[in-house]
């Protein structure tokens, strides 16, 4: 059992992220462009000397207790408990923990609240006990999502929240995890808007599409679906050709977007975002009608580009707007969609 002298509260804060472009290609060998955002998750942990983890959150009214070795239960606390079990396995902590999660990240919005919570928990648990850099934390968090939570995600979200800082864009090669941090031009405003449509990745739709991408890559004889040629994918059957068309075209869009960002070409970057949304809607089939209408209106009212962000099925859109037009544009969009909320 943990001694009373070790009942010290440890705390860590980690931001959320929005992906500007490069969606559904982090496990397909593509380059992605996520950006850290100001909303964040703060996790406090204190050893309680028992065999239970007692977890509470500002998002939920009740605290709940779980045995320290309990499996995932399709509960919001799974992300915390997976990280705690990982930390116990490495002897960073012992026995149960009293955990408090204070998050300003909208739940189910597609902004990687799960990755932020896992990494914040790992950071808090390892304070003074392990010297972990951002990449090590990201890979640990990915393993927790894959094995404990059961979501076969890629590495993008974890790297984005572990390495990114608000106002910079992470250009991440998901094959070797090499990356560069690019400044967002001061004349660009990136706006993240919660549609009000909740989404979850544990309901199976994410896994189905991921498996389809892997099946398409195997059928084409490539290690990564992003390596397939647009000509070769016509040999695929049914939905696989759609998934492959998205991966190959999105990989090209992402590379072109990096070039546009480096040169400050907002118009081109926005056009690529619009094309990305069309592909996510038609080829990946991960959008929903409410999101489609919101994206359409965002562009018609003056955004350079807009798209669904995250894995899809609801959540948020991200829009690119000229800084000087931001407030006028937002007022018009809010008038047309009163229930939407601006995250940043």
| Residues with active-site annotation | 157
Phi–psi pair at 201, nearest 5 degrees = -95, -10
Provide the CA 136 distance to its chain's centre, in angstroms: 17
Q: Which region holds residue 51: left if phi is over 0, alpha if psi is between -120 and 50, else beta?
A: alpha
Residue with tokens 């309901």: 203
- The four Cα atoms 192, 193, 196, 200 give a dihedral, to 10 degrees, of -20
Strand 316-322, strand 188-194: pairing? antiparallel
């Amino acid at each position: 059992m943990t001694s009373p002298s070790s009942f010290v509260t440890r705390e860590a804060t980690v931001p959320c992220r929005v992906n500007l472009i490069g969606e559904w290609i982090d496990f397909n060998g593509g380059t992605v462009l996520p950006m850290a955002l100001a909303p964040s998750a703060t996790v406090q942990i204190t050893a309680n000397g028992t065999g239970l983890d007692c977890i509470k959150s500002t998002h939920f009214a009740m605290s709940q207790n779980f045995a320290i070795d309990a499996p995932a239960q399709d509960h919001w606390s799974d992300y915390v408990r997976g990280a705690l079990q990982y930390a116990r396995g490495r002897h960073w902590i012992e026995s149960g923990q009293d955990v408090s999660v204070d998050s300003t990240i909208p739940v189910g919005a597609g902004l990687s609240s799960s990755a932020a919570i896992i990494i914040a928990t790992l950071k808090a648990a390892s304070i003074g006990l392990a010297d972990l850099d951002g990449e090590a934390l990201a890979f640990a968090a990915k393993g927790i999502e894959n094995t404990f939570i059961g979501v076969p995600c890629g590495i993008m979200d974890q790297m984005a929240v572990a390495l990114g800082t608000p106002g910079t864009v992470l250009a991440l090669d998901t094959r070797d995890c090499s990356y560069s941090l690019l400044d967002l031009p001061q004349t660009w405003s990136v706006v993240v808007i919660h549609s009000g449509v909740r989404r979850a990745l544990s309901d199976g739709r994410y896994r189905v599409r991921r498996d389809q991408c892997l099946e398409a890559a195997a059928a084409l004889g490539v290690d990564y679906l992003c390596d397939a040629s647009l000509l070769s994918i016509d040999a695929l059957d049914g939905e696989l050709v759609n998934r492959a068309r998205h991966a190959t075209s999105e990989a090209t869009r992402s590379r072109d977007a990096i070039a546009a960002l480096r040169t400050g070409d907002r118009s081109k970057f926005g056009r690529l975002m619009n094309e990305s949304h069309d592909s996510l809607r038609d080829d990946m089939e991960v959008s929903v009608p409410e999101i489609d209408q919101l994206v359409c209106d965002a562009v018609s009212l003056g955004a350079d580009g807009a798209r669904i962000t995250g894995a899809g099925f609801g959540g948020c859109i991200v829009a690119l707007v000229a800084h000087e037009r931001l407030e006028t544009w937002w007022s018009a969009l809010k008038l047309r969609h009163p229930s939407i909320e601006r995250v940043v």
